[in-house]
């Protein structure tokens, strides 16, 4: 069958790579894709992610069996709806269901109604009320802009002064509403869950991301600076509890409310003293979590998608190995950074997944903030980490930085 992957990043690179291993898939297309995928997929960078009509037309003309949508923007913009209207199968939720990611408020209200454990919150629509609220609230407090922000719309204010600054910043931006959340203390992890309406199958392997830009979780939030799996110190019991208390109930809640979710629901969890609580939902695979999880996955992703569609049993098979991925990003990210810098020294055989590089004559040059994820595999996290950093060392570039402590939380 022919499959079309939508998106340009490292997550889409691993999706293409993983689908290429499936005996069910004989041709892969990518829109807009990236130059690092062009050995294994027909890349159509002349079509933009936002050109929904052209994507539908392309899928029709090329007899695409499945479209797999990687990023959040086309999902919350309703690309799945447009494809489905033409009877094209899509892995990824429709616009209504994608609100679980697109609107913090939607997610919060649903969790409140169905008693799903999460931080307490308050929605404040204007600056005046927000300035009043922060005079009396508990600290630290978390401010989240309603709407998509690529992981960068969240500010943790440690005290009143920081909160004032955050309020001025967030209310000066287009979207008015900000959600104020209680700060949750604990370790974070990411659980990918296959959802087809009321049929819910969480991955039985979780991953841990590193959201902050610098070592020891310092600096601003980013899209993710590295990830690893499995997470040995968060055991199966916690995973089962997260399934029972969060994954199953949120999917049933959406189903009951008439939102037909089909795809991967990403559950961002903080493991507090009171148990697992939700920090966020995403309507898609995490990036860079997908790169480590799908590298560890031995079973056939396309088969899983077909089984999910038919609501058949899904049996994951994982390599008996740990995977660590270290993100190399343009210096300055998540703030301002330069583009067009040469990067070399890497290969494209499954050890590196590319987020922000493009071909310029014979060279790859930077074209984005997060640039390339270097992967390491090993019999445990320690050896996987060592191999990941060996892969990092091979990359030649003056323009990139990376964290040195990816996976340290799993290493005593
Ligand atoms: P989000 O975009 O909602 O995932 O938030 C980005 C990051 O901010 C999370 O990965 C957490 O590290 C942090 N964060 C968000 N909400 C909270 C919270 N209620 N308590 C503590 N940390 C949070
Ligand atoms: N790595 C976090 C995300 O994909 O949102």
The string of pLDDT tens digits covering residues 185-214 is 999 999 999 999 999 999 999 999 999 999
For 214-248, the pLDDT digits (tens) are 999 999 889 999 999 999 999 999 999 999 999 99
Name the closest-CA residue to atom 2, ligand 2: 286
Nearest CA to 62 among 77, 47, 72, 79? 47
| Domain(s) of CATH 3.90.600.10: residues in the chain | 322-410
Q: Which segments of the chain belong to CATH 3.30.470.20? A: 187-310
280 lines ligand 2 (CB under 6 A): no
Gap between the Cα atoms of 48 and 29, Å rounded: 14
Measured in Å, how far apart are the chain's first and last C-alpha atoms? 46
With 0.85 as the threshold, say if the pTM is over it. Answer: yes
The pLDDT value given to residue 171: 85
Q: Comparing C-alpha atoms, which of 3, 9, 40 is closest to residue 287?
A: 9
Considering every ligand atom, which ligand is closest to the CA of 144? Answer: 1
Tally of CB atoms within 10 A around 179: 21
360-398 per-position pLDDT tens digit: 999 999 999 999 999 999 999 999 999 999 999 999 999
Please name the residue whose Cα sits nearest to atom 4 of ligand 2: 286
Which of 149, 179, 279 to mutate for ligand 1's pocket (most ligand atoms within 8 Å of CB)?
279
Q: Which ligand is nearest to the CA of 183?
A: 1
Ligand nearest to the backbone CA of 152: 1
- Cα separation of 97 and 342, whole Å? 40
CB of 330 within 6 A of ligand 2: the answer is no
Alpha carbon distance 276, 288 (integer Å) = 22
Range(s) within the chain of domains with CATH label 3.30.1490.20: 120-182
CB 322 within 8 A of CB 377: yes
Determine the Cα–Cα distance for residues 203 and 217; give it in Å rounded to an integer.
Answer: 26
Q: Where in the chain is the domain with CATH 3.40.50.20?
A: 2-95
Q: What is the pLDDT of residue 115?
A: 97
pLDDT digits (tens, 9 = 90+) for 354-370: 999 999 999 999 999 99
Picking from 73, 108, 258, the residue whose alpha carbon sits closest to that of residue 181 is 108
pLDDT digit string, tens, across residues 300-313: 999 999 999 999 99
Q: Check residue 172 and give its pLDDT.
A: 76
191 and 247 in contact (C-beta within 8 Å)? yes
pLDDT in the model for residue 363: 96
Q: CATH for 322-410?
A: 3.90.600.10
What's the confidence (pLDDT) of residue 30?
Answer: 98
DSSP state letters, 293-318: HHHHB-S-HHHHHHHHHTT------B
**Contact of 377 with 297, CB cutoff 8 Å:** no
Residue 350 has pLDDT above 80, yes or no: yes
Q: What is the pLDDT of residues 321-347, one digit of tens each?
A: 999 999 999 999 999 999 999 999 999
Q: Is 211 in the pocket of ligand 1 (CB under 6 A)?
A: yes
pLDDT, tens digit, for every residue of 61-76? 999 999 999 999 999 9
pLDDT, position 173: 61
Q: With respect to CATH, is domain 2-95 assigned 3.40.50.20?
A: yes
Whether 271 is in the pocket of ligand 1, judged by its Cβ within 6 Å, is: no
- Confirm or reject: Cβ of 72 under 6 Å from ligand 1: no
CATH architecture of 187-310: 2-Layer Sandwich (3.30)
Residue 73: how many other CB atoms lie within 10 Å: 18
Q: How far is the CA of 385 from the centre of ligand 2 (A)?
A: 20
Residue range 116-168, pLDDT digits in tens: 999 999 999 889 999 999 999 999 999 988 776 655 578 899 999 999 999 99
pLDDT computed for residue 37 by the predictor: 97
Residue nearest to atom 5 of ligand 2 (CA): 286
CATH number belonging to domain 120-182: 3.30.1490.20
- Nearest ligand 2 atom, CA 287: 4
């Amino acid at each position: 069958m022919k499959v079309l992957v939508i998106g340009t990043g490292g997550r889409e690179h691993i999706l293409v790579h993983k689908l290429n291993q499936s005996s069910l898939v004989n041709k892969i297309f990518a829109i807009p894709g990236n130059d690092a995928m062009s050995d294994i997929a027909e890349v159509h960078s002349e079509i933009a992610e936002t050109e929904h009509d052209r994507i539908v037309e392309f899928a029709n003309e090329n007899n695409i069996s499945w479209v797999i949508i990687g990023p959040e923007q086309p999902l919350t913009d309703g690309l799945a709806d447009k494809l489905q209207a033409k009877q094209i199968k899509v892995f990824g939720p429709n616009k209504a269901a994608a609100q679980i990611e697109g609107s913090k408020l939607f997610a919060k209200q649903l969790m409140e109604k169905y008693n799903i454990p999460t931080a307490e919150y308050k929605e404040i629509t204007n600056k005046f009320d927000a300035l009043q609220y922060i005079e009396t609230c508990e600290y630290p407090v978390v401010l989240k802009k309603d709407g998509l922000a690529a992981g960068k719309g969240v500010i943790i204010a440690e005290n009143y002064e920081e909160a004032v600054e955050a309020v001025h910043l967030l209310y000066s931006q287009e979207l008015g509403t900000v959600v104020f959340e209680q700060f949750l203390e604990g370790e974070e992890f990411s659980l990918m869950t296959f959802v087809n309406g009321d049929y819910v199958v969480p991955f039985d392997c979780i991953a841990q991301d590193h959201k902050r830009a610098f070592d020891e979780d310092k600096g601003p939030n980013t899209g993710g600076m590295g990830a690893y799996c499995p997470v040995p110190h968060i055991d199966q019991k916690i995973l089962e509890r997260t399934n029972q208390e969060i994954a199953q109930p949120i999917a049933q809640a959406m189903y009951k409310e008439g939102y037909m979710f089909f795809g991967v629901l990403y559950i961002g969890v903080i493991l507090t003293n009171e148990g697992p609580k939700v920090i966020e939902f995403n309507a898609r695979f995490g990036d860079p979590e997908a790169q480590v999880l799908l590298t560890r996955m031995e079973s056939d992703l396309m088969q899983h998608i077909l089984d999910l569609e038919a609501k058949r049993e899904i049996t994951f098979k994982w390599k008996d190995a740990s995977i660590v991925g270290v993100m190399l990003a343009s210096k300055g990210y998540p703030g301002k950074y330069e583009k067009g810098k040469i990067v070399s020294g890497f290969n494209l055989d499954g050890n590196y997944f590319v987020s922000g590089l493009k071909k310029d004559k014979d060279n790859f040059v930077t074209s984005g903030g997060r640039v390339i994820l270097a992967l390491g595999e090993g019999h445990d996290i320690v050896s996987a980490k060592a191999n990941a950093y060996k892969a990092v060392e091979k990359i030649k570039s003056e323009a990139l930085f990376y964290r040195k402590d990816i996976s340290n939380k799993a290493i005593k």
